[in-house]
Copies of this chain bind each other. A is one copy, B any other.
């Protein structure tokens, strides 16, 4: 027994008890005749006192040799503190030390182990084991555990069964790139790591396991953008004998349960919005609805006024920025620069101040009268004092640009409150999306998603208009989950593969087992997957996922702590029948 109590446990009620504690030296205050040490572990901090008059001389001596992050064990008596610290739960007591053992020394850590550290991102990642000692990181990992326990118990209580699906599966070129794993025993052949357990969970449905879930690692060999990880965790779910409504219902309840248990927030029925509405009102399929600034389409009220740019635009669309009428010319110019940044890509921005006194002042006063601008205000729901920002151009592009502006303004205005939660179902996604690069349609969700029955005839004539039984759960402007009703018959699945450009042979080679399975009595089924890393981050009031992952990789996919990936032995390569060919 290295300790009788943790460092977060002792109170005044323990006074006069002799206790054994262990932990790390957080802080030392050495007054010569008296030394105070803050002893830290996962549970808190307890103050130790070494006192020349009351502590054995040898112990006093040893205490003087301590350094930050030394691991020590002490025995001593719980006494009342003279100057109490109301900020920590153990702040009313301290331990008068009688015995001290140094369990392990420590070099001076490369950054301070404090809530606010002086360590940069790179250093913290290289010494991640030290970073985890810091409360902000440690607490996030404990928080993640709490969330997953809630998820598991909720789903298990609803009769879901967690089934482990395999990690060594088969490569399929659809979607992102697979990580592959050479097989030593099967020469020249490779396993692939799953991008998701999609086909296996569908096979479980065919197998009658009608409520499945799994919290599972998935892998995508993508060029990493900020805040993407090559390995990430999903809460993966599938149900049989269900319609879309049944699935939304269960997972809305799960999310509501989490918000209540984890965040103490009660949320009523989640609003729903079609994909088309989300794009029209927010320019985005994952709108943050914690705040307004809904889009107002202005084509009707801007045309035929000699302003060529608007007249020729596919879409003219604006938002009303609350209290923006007071912005100076300089501030507005900066805003225009912001929308013209390559990351946003607008060519310019038209604005109209809706002054407090009800008058208007716009950057296009040459073309538009007060009456016109009043109509802009109506369409964008602007109030006196607001600034109407208008972008124009090709529909999809301009929506993305205005959405970026909307989010930026919300951020600046403090409207994206971390402790406010606005979930939203976005439904009726298109089945297919056009890919400029390959010049063909791709599955928007994945190739197993069922088209809406009534839209199937459109597949031949207007594939882009076919809607799917697909849905996303959006929380505070982030997609935290998504899913669909699946195809469950061989013919529809074959048709779908055909539309997606698979030859019959390719479809058979890659998904033959699934189409075979559909012939042996596949039930109607559907499901959903949550991105756990993001879900946890958002419930934790943050948008970056990295600190909610114990050992994340950097943007080059490297683990800088263990220095992976790395070269492997020639011998090992030979056993795998492989040769590296560098360019």
Contact = CB atoms under 8 A, between A and B. Distances in A.
Interface string A196-235: 0001100110111111000001010101100000110100
A581 B582 CA distance: 15
A22 B523 contact: yes
A109 interface: yes
Interface string A550-583: 1101001111011111111100100111111111
Contacts of A518: 104
Contacts of A190: 565-568
A142 interface: yes
Contact of A181 (B179, B184, B513): B179
B559 A521 contact: no
B105 A521 contact: yes
Contact of A580 (B106, B224, B578): B578
A262 interface: no
What are the 7 A-B residue pairs with the smallest beta carbon separation, nearest first? A132-B207, A106-B521, A170-B564, A189-B565, A2-B241, A69-B521, A183-B565
Contacts of A327: none
A565 to B, nearest CB: 4
Which of A107, A230, A549 has the most B CB atoms < 10 Å from its CB?
A230
30 contacts: A1-B243, A22-B523, A24-B523, A69-B521, A71-B521, A104-B522, A106-B521, A107-B520, A109-B520, A128-B203, A129-B520, A130-B206, A138-B208, A138-B209, A141-B161, A145-B162, A148-B162, A164-B233, A166-B231, A168-B559, A168-B565, A169-B562, A171-B566, A181-B193, A183-B557, A183-B565, A189-B566, A577-B580, A577-B581, A578-B579
Contacts of A210: 41-42
Contact of A242 (B2, B129, B144, B221): B2
Interface stretch (A149-157, A359-367, A447-455): A149-157
A179 B22 CA distance: 39
A180 interface: yes
A253 to B, nearest CB: 16
A517 interface: yes
Given A520-B106, A565-B170, A581 B583 contact: no
Given A104-B522, A564-B191, A185 B579 contact: no
A200 B562 CA distance: 10
A580 to B, nearest CB: 5
B562 A165 contact: no
A521 B181 CA distance: 37
A543 interface: no
B168 A208 contact: no
A520 B127 contact: yes
Nearest to A109: B520
Contacts of A547: none
Q: How many copies of the polypeptide does the oligomer hold?
A: 2
A486 interface: no
A521 B208 contact: no
Contacts of A578: 578-581
Contact of A550 (B1, B69, B103, B164): B164
A1 B246 contact: yes
Which of A42, A170, A190, A557 has the most B CB atoms < 10 Å from its CB?
A190
The prevalent SS among residues of A at the interface is: loop
A524 interface: yes
A22 to B, nearest CB: 5
Interface of A: 1-3, 22-24, 40-42, 69-71, 103-107, 109, 127-133, 138, 141-142, 144-145, 148-149, 152-153, 156, 161-171, 173, 177-193, 199-200, 203-204, 206-211, 217, 219, 221, 223-224, 230-231, 233, 241-243, 245-246, 488-489, 513, 517-524, 549-551, 553, 556-559, 561-569, 572, 575-583
A489 B104 contact: yes
A224 B186 CA distance: 12
Nearest to A206: B129
A110 to B, nearest CB: 8
A239 to B, nearest CB: 10
Given A189-B565, A578-B580, A579-B581, 4 more contacts: A106-B519, A164-B549, A166-B551, A577-B583
Contact of A185 (B166, B223, B523, B564): B223
Given A132-B207, A164-B233, A217-B164, A513 B562 contact: yes
A168 B521 contact: no
A148 to B, nearest CB: 7
A344 B463 CA distance: 67
Contacts of A242: 2
Contacts of A129: 203-204, 206-207, 517, 520
A211 B42 CA distance: 9
Contacts of A105: 521
A191 B193 CA distance: 12
A568 B192 CA distance: 9
B141 A149 contact: no
A579 B233 CA distance: 31
Nearest to A188: B580
A166 B565 contact: no
Contact of A551 (B40, B71, B165, B173): B165
A460 to B, nearest CB: 24
